[in-house]
Amino acid sequence: MSKYPLLLDTKPVSYMIGDGALGMSGKSLQKYPRIIMLVDENVEKHCLPVFKEYLPNVEIDHVISIKSGEKSKNLEQSIHIWNELTRLQVDRDALFINLGGGVVTDIGGFAASTYKRGIPFINFPTTLLGMADAAIGGKTGIDYGAYKNQVGLFVDPVSVIIDPIFLNTLNDLQWQSGFAEVMKYGLIMDRDLWSMLIGKDYHHLDDWNKIIAKAARDKIDIVHHDALEKGMRKNLNFGHTIGHAIESYYLMHDMPITHGQAIAAGMICETWISSKKFNIECTQIDEVVDMIDLNFEKFGISEDTIPELLDLMRQDKKVREGQLKFSLIRKIGKATHDIEVEMDMVIDSIKYYINRNAAH
Protein backbone atom coordinates (compact mmCIF):
# COMPACT_ATOMS: atom_id res chain seq x y z
CA MET A 1 0.00 0.00 0.00
CA SER A 2 1.27 3.37 -0.95
CA LYS A 3 -1.11 6.12 -1.86
CA TYR A 4 -0.32 9.53 -3.23
CA PRO A 5 -3.78 10.73 -4.01
CA LEU A 6 -2.74 14.00 -5.57
CA LEU A 7 -5.03 15.90 -7.83
CA LEU A 8 -4.32 15.90 -11.50
CA ASP A 9 -3.91 18.08 -14.47
CA THR A 10 -4.22 15.61 -17.30
CA LYS A 11 -1.67 17.31 -19.52
CA PRO A 12 1.34 15.09 -20.13
CA VAL A 13 4.84 16.46 -19.71
CA SER A 14 6.43 17.56 -22.97
CA TYR A 15 10.07 16.71 -23.57
CA MET A 16 12.58 18.18 -25.98
CA ILE A 17 15.90 16.36 -26.05
CA GLY A 18 18.98 16.96 -28.18
CA ASP A 19 21.07 19.62 -29.92
CA GLY A 20 19.00 22.70 -30.62
CA ALA A 21 16.33 22.03 -27.99
CA LEU A 22 17.15 25.23 -26.13
CA GLY A 23 16.50 27.53 -29.07
CA MET A 24 13.36 25.66 -30.03
CA SER A 25 11.84 26.10 -26.59
CA GLY A 26 11.42 29.84 -27.03
CA LYS A 27 7.99 29.75 -28.56
CA SER A 28 6.42 27.85 -25.67
CA LEU A 29 7.92 30.27 -23.15
CA GLN A 30 6.56 33.39 -24.75
CA LYS A 31 2.97 32.63 -23.89
CA TYR A 32 3.59 33.25 -20.17
CA PRO A 33 2.97 36.82 -19.02
CA ARG A 34 5.78 36.61 -16.50
CA ILE A 35 8.82 34.35 -16.02
CA ILE A 36 10.80 33.84 -12.83
CA MET A 37 13.99 31.76 -12.99
CA LEU A 38 15.92 29.81 -10.39
CA VAL A 39 19.67 29.23 -10.81
CA ASP A 40 22.64 28.61 -8.60
CA GLU A 41 25.68 30.86 -8.60
CA ASN A 42 27.64 28.61 -10.99
CA VAL A 43 24.74 28.31 -13.40
CA GLU A 44 24.23 32.05 -13.26
CA LYS A 45 27.83 32.55 -14.34
CA HIS A 46 28.19 29.81 -16.93
CA CYS A 47 24.75 28.77 -18.22
CA LEU A 48 22.53 31.82 -17.94
CA PRO A 49 24.56 33.65 -20.63
CA VAL A 50 24.07 30.64 -22.94
CA PHE A 51 20.33 30.65 -22.20
CA LYS A 52 20.13 34.36 -23.04
CA GLU A 53 22.23 33.96 -26.18
CA TYR A 54 19.95 31.27 -27.59
CA LEU A 55 16.71 32.83 -26.39
CA PRO A 56 17.22 36.57 -26.84
CA ASN A 57 13.49 37.23 -27.05
CA VAL A 58 12.54 35.52 -23.80
CA GLU A 59 12.17 38.10 -21.10
CA ILE A 60 13.08 36.87 -17.62
CA ASP A 61 11.35 39.01 -15.06
CA HIS A 62 13.56 38.02 -12.17
CA VAL A 63 16.40 35.56 -11.49
CA ILE A 64 16.59 33.99 -8.04
CA SER A 65 20.06 32.68 -7.28
CA ILE A 66 21.04 30.17 -4.60
CA LYS A 67 24.45 28.85 -3.60
CA SER A 68 25.53 25.82 -5.57
CA GLY A 69 25.81 22.39 -4.01
CA GLU A 70 23.62 19.85 -2.23
CA LYS A 71 23.87 21.88 0.97
CA SER A 72 21.56 24.46 -0.62
CA LYS A 73 18.79 21.91 -1.07
CA ASN A 74 17.29 22.81 2.27
CA LEU A 75 14.29 24.48 3.83
CA GLU A 76 16.05 27.81 4.29
CA GLN A 77 16.60 28.12 0.54
CA SER A 78 13.03 27.09 -0.14
CA ILE A 79 11.89 29.83 2.24
CA HIS A 80 14.13 32.23 0.34
CA ILE A 81 12.35 31.29 -2.89
CA TRP A 82 8.87 31.63 -1.32
CA ASN A 83 9.90 35.02 0.07
CA GLU A 84 11.11 36.22 -3.30
CA LEU A 85 7.94 35.06 -5.06
CA THR A 86 5.87 36.81 -2.39
CA ARG A 87 7.92 39.99 -2.58
CA LEU A 88 7.59 40.04 -6.37
CA GLN A 89 3.83 39.43 -6.04
CA VAL A 90 4.08 36.53 -8.46
CA ASP A 91 0.69 35.05 -9.28
CA ARG A 92 -0.38 31.69 -10.65
CA ASP A 93 -0.16 32.77 -14.28
CA ALA A 94 3.58 33.09 -14.04
CA LEU A 95 6.06 30.46 -15.19
CA PHE A 96 8.89 29.27 -12.98
CA ILE A 97 12.01 28.06 -14.80
CA ASN A 98 14.55 25.82 -13.14
CA LEU A 99 17.87 26.28 -14.93
CA GLY A 100 20.48 24.05 -13.33
CA GLY A 101 21.38 20.63 -12.03
CA GLY A 102 19.52 18.26 -9.75
CA VAL A 103 19.64 20.57 -6.75
CA VAL A 104 17.99 23.41 -8.65
CA THR A 105 15.32 21.25 -10.29
CA ASP A 106 14.55 19.47 -7.00
CA ILE A 107 14.22 22.53 -4.78
CA GLY A 108 12.79 24.76 -7.50
CA GLY A 109 10.13 22.19 -8.36
CA PHE A 110 9.21 21.89 -4.70
CA ALA A 111 9.09 25.64 -4.03
CA ALA A 112 7.15 26.45 -7.21
CA SER A 113 4.58 23.71 -6.76
CA THR A 114 3.88 24.69 -3.15
CA TYR A 115 3.78 28.46 -3.71
CA LYS A 116 0.11 29.49 -3.75
CA ARG A 117 -0.72 25.80 -4.19
CA GLY A 118 1.35 25.55 -7.33
CA ILE A 119 2.63 27.59 -10.22
CA PRO A 120 3.75 25.82 -13.41
CA PHE A 121 7.45 25.16 -13.91
CA ILE A 122 9.80 24.01 -16.67
CA ASN A 123 13.12 22.26 -16.12
CA PHE A 124 16.19 23.14 -18.17
CA PRO A 125 18.80 20.72 -16.79
CA THR A 126 22.37 21.92 -17.24
CA THR A 127 24.29 18.99 -15.79
CA LEU A 128 24.78 15.44 -16.97
CA LEU A 129 23.00 14.23 -13.82
CA GLY A 130 20.08 16.56 -14.44
CA MET A 131 19.74 15.66 -18.11
CA ALA A 132 19.94 11.91 -17.65
CA ASP A 133 17.98 11.70 -14.46
CA ALA A 134 17.02 14.38 -11.95
CA ALA A 135 15.05 16.75 -14.18
CA ILE A 136 12.76 13.95 -15.36
CA GLY A 137 10.05 12.17 -13.44
CA GLY A 138 8.43 14.59 -11.02
CA LYS A 139 10.38 13.94 -7.86
CA THR A 140 10.97 17.21 -6.07
CA GLY A 141 12.14 17.90 -2.58
CA ILE A 142 14.59 19.19 -0.07
CA ASP A 143 16.94 17.54 2.36
CA TYR A 144 15.95 17.77 5.97
CA GLY A 145 18.35 17.25 8.79
CA ALA A 146 20.48 14.39 7.62
CA TYR A 147 17.80 12.93 5.41
CA LYS A 148 17.77 13.28 1.65
CA ASN A 149 14.50 14.48 0.11
CA GLN A 150 12.69 14.09 3.41
CA VAL A 151 10.27 16.87 2.46
CA GLY A 152 8.94 17.09 -1.05
CA LEU A 153 6.33 15.85 -3.45
CA PHE A 154 5.67 14.18 -6.76
CA VAL A 155 4.80 16.91 -9.21
CA ASP A 156 5.49 17.14 -12.91
CA PRO A 157 6.99 20.08 -14.72
CA VAL A 158 5.12 21.38 -17.75
CA SER A 159 8.15 20.51 -19.90
CA VAL A 160 11.71 19.31 -19.67
CA ILE A 161 14.12 20.84 -22.18
CA ILE A 162 17.39 18.91 -22.49
CA ASP A 163 20.07 20.55 -24.61
CA PRO A 164 23.59 19.08 -24.39
CA ILE A 165 25.03 22.52 -25.11
CA PHE A 166 25.14 23.14 -21.36
CA LEU A 167 27.51 20.19 -20.86
CA ASN A 168 30.33 22.45 -22.06
CA THR A 169 29.98 24.35 -18.81
CA LEU A 170 30.58 21.39 -16.48
CA ASN A 171 33.59 20.80 -14.30
CA ASP A 172 35.14 17.39 -13.88
CA LEU A 173 33.29 16.55 -10.66
CA GLN A 174 29.95 17.32 -12.28
CA TRP A 175 30.74 15.08 -15.24
CA GLN A 176 31.71 12.30 -12.90
CA SER A 177 28.62 12.69 -10.70
CA GLY A 178 26.25 12.41 -13.64
CA PHE A 179 28.16 9.51 -15.05
CA ALA A 180 27.18 7.27 -12.11
CA GLU A 181 23.50 7.62 -13.02
CA VAL A 182 24.24 7.07 -16.72
CA MET A 183 26.02 3.80 -15.83
CA LYS A 184 23.03 2.89 -13.67
CA TYR A 185 20.67 3.01 -16.65
CA GLY A 186 22.98 0.64 -18.48
CA LEU A 187 23.02 -1.73 -15.54
CA ILE A 188 19.33 -1.78 -14.73
CA MET A 189 17.71 -1.74 -18.16
CA ASP A 190 19.90 -0.89 -21.15
CA ARG A 191 22.56 -3.38 -22.19
CA ASP A 192 23.03 -1.37 -25.36
CA LEU A 193 23.90 1.79 -23.42
CA TRP A 194 26.23 -0.23 -21.19
CA SER A 195 28.06 -1.47 -24.29
CA MET A 196 28.71 2.12 -25.33
CA LEU A 197 30.30 2.84 -21.97
CA ILE A 198 32.13 -0.31 -20.97
CA GLY A 199 35.90 -0.14 -20.54
CA LYS A 200 36.05 3.65 -20.91
CA ASP A 201 36.38 6.35 -18.37
CA TYR A 202 34.05 9.28 -18.84
CA HIS A 203 36.87 11.57 -19.98
CA HIS A 204 37.28 9.43 -23.06
CA LEU A 205 33.70 9.12 -24.17
CA ASP A 206 32.22 11.21 -26.92
CA ASP A 207 28.80 11.13 -28.54
CA TRP A 208 27.18 12.49 -25.40
CA ASN A 209 24.18 13.59 -27.40
CA LYS A 210 23.40 9.92 -28.00
CA ILE A 211 24.29 8.77 -24.48
CA ILE A 212 22.06 11.41 -22.91
CA ALA A 213 19.20 10.68 -25.27
CA LYS A 214 19.36 6.98 -24.38
CA ALA A 215 19.53 7.54 -20.61
CA ALA A 216 16.80 10.21 -20.64
CA ARG A 217 14.51 8.00 -22.71
CA ASP A 218 15.09 5.12 -20.32
CA LYS A 219 14.02 7.34 -17.46
CA ILE A 220 11.00 8.72 -19.34
CA ASP A 221 9.91 5.16 -20.18
CA ILE A 222 10.05 4.11 -16.56
CA VAL A 223 8.26 7.10 -15.08
CA HIS A 224 5.65 6.93 -17.82
CA HIS A 225 4.75 3.43 -16.70
CA ASP A 226 5.13 3.98 -12.99
CA ALA A 227 5.17 7.64 -12.03
CA LEU A 228 4.50 7.04 -8.36
CA GLU A 229 7.12 4.38 -7.75
CA LYS A 230 4.82 1.52 -6.96
CA GLY A 231 6.58 -0.99 -9.15
CA MET A 232 9.24 -0.82 -11.85
CA ARG A 233 10.32 2.73 -11.01
CA LYS A 234 11.84 1.24 -7.90
CA ASN A 235 14.46 -0.29 -10.18
CA LEU A 236 15.96 3.19 -10.41
CA ASN A 237 16.93 2.84 -6.77
CA PHE A 238 19.70 0.40 -7.62
CA GLY A 239 22.76 1.63 -5.73
CA HIS A 240 20.70 4.21 -3.89
CA THR A 241 19.77 2.49 -0.62
CA ILE A 242 23.36 2.24 0.53
CA GLY A 243 24.41 5.16 -1.69
CA HIS A 244 21.99 7.60 -0.07
CA ALA A 245 23.14 6.55 3.38
CA ILE A 246 26.75 7.22 2.38
CA GLU A 247 25.76 10.59 0.91
CA SER A 248 23.84 11.56 4.06
CA TYR A 249 26.70 10.39 6.25
CA TYR A 250 29.20 12.66 4.53
CA LEU A 251 26.72 15.55 4.46
CA MET A 252 26.16 15.18 8.21
CA HIS A 253 29.87 15.22 8.87
CA ASP A 254 30.37 18.34 6.80
CA MET A 255 32.29 16.56 4.09
CA PRO A 256 29.76 16.69 1.27
CA ILE A 257 30.46 14.36 -1.64
CA THR A 258 28.70 14.27 -4.98
CA HIS A 259 25.56 12.23 -5.47
CA GLY A 260 27.37 10.26 -8.15
CA GLN A 261 30.30 9.38 -5.91
CA ALA A 262 27.87 8.08 -3.29
CA ILE A 263 25.79 6.13 -5.80
CA ALA A 264 28.91 4.64 -7.41
CA ALA A 265 29.95 3.27 -4.01
CA GLY A 266 26.37 2.14 -3.38
CA MET A 267 26.30 0.31 -6.71
CA ILE A 268 29.44 -1.61 -5.79
CA CYS A 269 27.85 -2.73 -2.49
CA GLU A 270 24.54 -3.55 -4.13
CA THR A 271 26.17 -5.39 -7.03
CA TRP A 272 27.86 -7.53 -4.40
CA ILE A 273 24.47 -8.13 -2.72
CA SER A 274 22.99 -8.94 -6.14
CA SER A 275 25.66 -11.57 -6.65
CA LYS A 276 24.71 -13.20 -3.35
CA LYS A 277 20.99 -13.12 -4.06
CA PHE A 278 21.06 -14.13 -7.70
CA ASN A 279 23.19 -16.34 -9.81
CA ILE A 280 25.24 -13.78 -11.69
CA GLU A 281 28.37 -14.71 -13.60
CA CYS A 282 31.57 -13.63 -11.85
CA THR A 283 32.77 -11.95 -15.01
CA GLN A 284 29.75 -9.67 -14.94
CA ILE A 285 30.39 -8.72 -11.32
CA ASP A 286 33.99 -7.93 -12.14
CA GLU A 287 32.93 -5.97 -15.20
CA VAL A 288 30.66 -3.74 -13.10
CA VAL A 289 33.06 -3.21 -10.23
CA ASP A 290 36.02 -2.58 -12.53
CA MET A 291 34.03 -0.06 -14.55
CA ILE A 292 33.05 1.83 -11.40
CA ASP A 293 36.62 1.73 -10.07
CA LEU A 294 37.86 3.03 -13.40
CA ASN A 295 35.67 6.11 -12.99
CA PHE A 296 35.46 6.67 -9.22
CA GLU A 297 38.02 6.71 -6.46
CA LYS A 298 37.35 4.50 -3.49
CA PHE A 299 36.23 6.22 -0.27
CA GLY A 300 38.34 5.71 2.83
CA ILE A 301 35.41 4.88 5.11
CA SER A 302 36.09 2.58 8.05
CA GLU A 303 34.02 -0.24 9.51
CA ASP A 304 33.21 1.99 12.50
CA THR A 305 30.84 3.99 10.35
CA ILE A 306 28.62 1.00 9.55
CA PRO A 307 26.14 1.40 12.47
CA GLU A 308 25.53 5.02 11.52
CA LEU A 309 25.02 4.06 7.88
CA LEU A 310 22.45 1.45 8.93
CA ASP A 311 20.55 4.04 11.00
CA LEU A 312 20.42 6.32 8.00
CA MET A 313 19.12 3.48 5.82
CA ARG A 314 16.27 2.85 8.24
CA GLN A 315 15.08 6.43 7.62
CA ASP A 316 15.08 5.83 3.87
CA LYS A 317 11.78 6.34 2.03
CA LYS A 318 12.22 2.86 0.58
CA VAL A 319 11.77 1.27 4.00
CA ARG A 320 8.35 -0.38 4.38
CA GLU A 321 7.15 -1.59 7.71
CA GLY A 322 10.67 -1.45 9.04
CA GLN A 323 12.05 -3.85 6.41
CA LEU A 324 14.86 -2.76 4.11
CA LYS A 325 14.00 -3.60 0.52
CA PHE A 326 16.56 -3.35 -2.22
CA SER A 327 16.55 -2.87 -5.94
CA LEU A 328 19.14 -5.23 -7.33
CA ILE A 329 20.35 -6.51 -10.69
CA ARG A 330 19.78 -10.05 -11.94
CA LYS A 331 22.33 -9.48 -14.68
CA ILE A 332 23.74 -6.48 -16.51
CA GLY A 333 20.79 -4.71 -18.13
CA LYS A 334 18.08 -6.23 -15.95
CA ALA A 335 16.99 -5.06 -12.52
CA THR A 336 14.41 -6.17 -10.00
CA HIS A 337 12.98 -4.56 -6.87
CA ASP A 338 11.48 -5.13 -3.44
CA ILE A 339 14.11 -7.70 -2.52
CA GLU A 340 14.39 -8.15 1.21
CA VAL A 341 17.98 -8.21 2.32
CA GLU A 342 19.09 -9.30 5.77
CA MET A 343 20.98 -6.72 7.80
CA ASP A 344 24.04 -8.98 8.02
CA MET A 345 24.29 -9.08 4.26
CA VAL A 346 24.06 -5.29 4.08
CA ILE A 347 26.87 -5.05 6.61
CA ASP A 348 28.95 -7.57 4.68
CA SER A 349 28.45 -5.65 1.44
CA ILE A 350 29.86 -2.49 3.03
CA LYS A 351 32.76 -4.51 4.42
CA TYR A 352 33.34 -5.85 0.90
CA TYR A 353 33.50 -2.26 -0.36
CA ILE A 354 35.91 -1.24 2.38
CA ASN A 355 38.25 -4.21 2.24
CA ARG A 356 38.55 -4.88 -1.48
CA ASN A 357 41.59 -3.65 -3.39
CA ALA A 358 40.40 -1.04 -5.83
CA ALA A 359 42.29 -1.13 -9.09
CA HIS A 360 42.15 2.63 -9.46
Minimum Å distance from CB 82 to its own copies?
A: 6
The answer to whether residues 141 and 110 touch, using CB atoms and an 8 Å cutoff, is: yes
Bridge partner residues of 328 (DSSP): 336
Query: Rounded to the nearest whole angstrom, what is the least distance from the CB of residue 360 to its own copies in the complex?
Result: 35
Contacts of 226 (CB under 8 A, 6+ apart): 232, 233
- When the beta carbons of 46 and 116 are compared against its own copies, the nearer one is 116
> Of 314, 157, 337, which Cα lies nearest the Cα of 238?
337
- The answer to whether residues 106 and 136 touch, using CB atoms and an 8 Å cutoff, is no
Residues 272 and 289: their CA atoms lie apart, in Å, by 9
Least distance in Å: CB of 118 to its own copies? 4
Least distance CB 146 / its own copies (angstroms): 9
**CB of residue 93 vs its own copies: minimum separation in angstroms?**
5
Give the nearest distance from C-beta 92 to its own copies in angstroms.
5
d(CA 219, CA 130) in angstroms, rounded, equals 11
Cβ-based nearer residue to its own copies, 214 or 244 = 244
Nearer to its own copies, 15 or 82 (CB): 82
Quick one: CA dihedral 41, 42, 45, 47, positive or negative?
negative
Residue 187 or 223: the one with the smaller Cβ distance to its own copies is 223
Which residue, 199 or 231, has its beta carbon nearer to its own copies? 231
Beta carbon of residue 140, minimum distance to its own copies (angstroms, whole number): 8
**What are the distances in angstroms from CA 325 to CA 306, 313, 322?**
18, 10, 9
Q: Decide whether 147 or 208 has the Cβ nearer to its own copies.
A: 147
Cβ pair 150, 156 in contact under 8 A: no
Distance from C-alpha of 292 to C-alpha of 287, rounded to nearest angstrom: 9
- Alpha-helix runs per DSSP H in 190-335: 191-197, 208-225, 240-252, 259-277, 282-295, 306-314
Task: Name the minimum Å distance from CB 117 to its own copies.
Answer: 5
DSSP 316-327: STT-BTTB-EEE
When the beta carbons of 213 and 228 are compared against its own copies, the nearer one is 228
Q: Which neighbouring-strand residues pair with 16? A: 161
Residues within the interface to its own copies (CB under 8 A): 1-9, 11, 13, 31-33, 75, 79, 82, 86, 89, 91-93, 110, 113-118, 120, 138-141, 144-145, 147, 149-158, 227-228, 314-315, 317, 319-322
How far is it, in rounded angstroms, from Cα 153 to Cα 6? 10
When the beta carbons of 141 and 164 are compared against its own copies, the nearer one is: 141
What's the full length of the chain, in residues? 360
